[in-house]
Structure 1
Amino acid sequence: MEPGLRQGKLIKWKDERGFGFIQPTDESLEVFLHISELKDSTRRPQVGDIICYYTVTENGKTRACNAFILGARIKKNSSSTSNNISKYPFPILELLLLSSLPLIGSIHFTWITANPIPLILYPLMSFLTFALYANDKSRAKRGDWRISEQMLHLCELAGGWLGGFVAQRKLRHKNIKRSYQVVFWIIVTLHIAFWVDWLFLSGTIMKIFLRSNFKN
């Protein structure tokens, strides 16, 4: 075993929140493990898994880092190493593709209605949402009280989904949990659909929706 590398059994795991606790083989105190510190694993952790890990102490709290599941580790070679390096670049192309329609739509909306709210709301809420993602990941690593997923989704719905998208790619946070991703992409689809309706259908779908919900 490598110097400093420890081993223990995963005795608690909250998959929906992405963290759990390891019982070291020497029967010492349980060690906190966050999903972001689980490297090169072929699957999500489960209670009973043997975890190999290093430890780091911050603010008097010890947590696992650079961990992997024994028997479920991706075999590394030169090609996979280079792939891992390029796996998480800043998503410039994806961001441009996703933001182009909302940007054009916001400019058109401002031009037609003299209302700049979309142009202000998207960057403002995206910055706020990115900051909340970063803060939530930091809290998770420290084992502190987390920011609720409902709050993150609410910020995304209010226009911050672009910031959420960047945070998922750059911080590797909330990018694995399937249930979270389903809600996130529903929010993205709603925003894209709104601008498609505004730009190409003159708001027809939105008008029909409003009439059906607010008619006497």
Structure 2
Amino acid sequence: MTSPRVNKRKTAGRKRRVVADDSRLQEGILVLWNDDKGFGFVRPSMGGDDYFVHISVLEEGTSRRPQVGDTIFYNVASDTPGRRRLSYAAIKGVDVSEKKPTAGILASPRSPLLWTLIGLPILLSCYLMWRTYNPIPFFSYVFLSVLAIMLCGFDKKHAITGQWRVPELYMHVIEFMGGWPGALLAQHDFRHKIRKSRYRLILWGIIAFHGLAWTAFLVSNFVGR
């Protein structure tokens, strides 16, 4: 016979399925949803003001994204007094997949292409520093990439809590000046702005511009020898 402790260990990695009679959760209706930005508002069934809900607080493994009219089970966040937002939400009647033992521990694997894109400008700026004794590109890539990662993390947190956001123009300026490797890494690891096609288009335009600039430098450098 398997002991209760063993059973607990076996089920610890599985996700809890939300049921209608879960007395720990409140119930409401999703009255507004912006799928591009990943947020909306839930109106309590018992009445009262609407609550802000972000896609990041939705039950992991939910088989589809929220839709206006969905019945939502939720918990209210208590860490931001005065701000009506949810800390947890689940869609009634929507299947939730079981959580894998490693889910939530590691981010999705970084592809060789991602590592190549991030590493190339660092290597090329090292080469430039060796050839011309100009350290500015190297330190720009390193310092501004770290800054871009910090700002992306800050913006991700504020997107969840419904607070002031970092303007995309500021992010693009930092990316253009050399912080795009950090922004690309943060976008992958934080799963931030992955659905904003306009932001991604500008980011990849900046990456392409840097690639062309480095190509022109290498060609002129080797042809001029």
TM-score for the superposition, normalised by structure 1: 0.77
Give the match for residue 27 of structure 2.
Answer: 7
- Structure 1 residue 67, shift from structure 2 partner: 2.1
**Alignment equivalent of 1:31, drawn from 48, 51, 67:** 51
1:54 aligns with 2:75: yes
Give the match for residue 213 of structure 1.
Answer: none
- Is the alpha carbon distance of 1:148 and 1:54 closer, same or farther for their aligned partners in structure 2, counting shifts above 3 Å? same
Alignment of 1:143-154 (within 5 A): 143-154=162-173
1:133 aligns with 2:155: no
SS at match of 1:173: coil
Q: Distance in 2 between matches of 1:70 and 1:156?
A: 41
Alignment of 1:88-103 (within 5 A): 88=107, 91=110, 96-103=115-122
Where do 5+ consecutive residues of structure 2 fail to align?
1-20
Q: Which has the higher helix share?
A: 1
SS at match of 1:23: strand
Give the match for residue 41 of structure 1.
Answer: 62
Where do 5+ consecutive residues of structure 1 fail to align?
205-216
Query: Aligned-pair RMSD on alpha carbons?
Result: 2.8
Give the match for residue 69 of structure 1.
Answer: 91
**Alignment equivalent of 2:204, drawn from 179, 185, 188:** 185
Q: Distance in 2 between matches of 1:109 and 1:167?
A: 26
Alignment of 1:115-134 (within 5 A): 115-134=134-153
Give the match for residue 210 of structure 1.
Answer: none
Aligned residues with identical type, % of pairs: 34
TM-score for the superposition, normalised by structure 2: 0.74
SS at match of 1:202: helix
Q: Deviations over 1:9-49 (max 9, x none)?
A: 22223344332211122223211111221232344433333
**Alignment equivalent of 2:161, drawn from 142, 149, 163:** 142
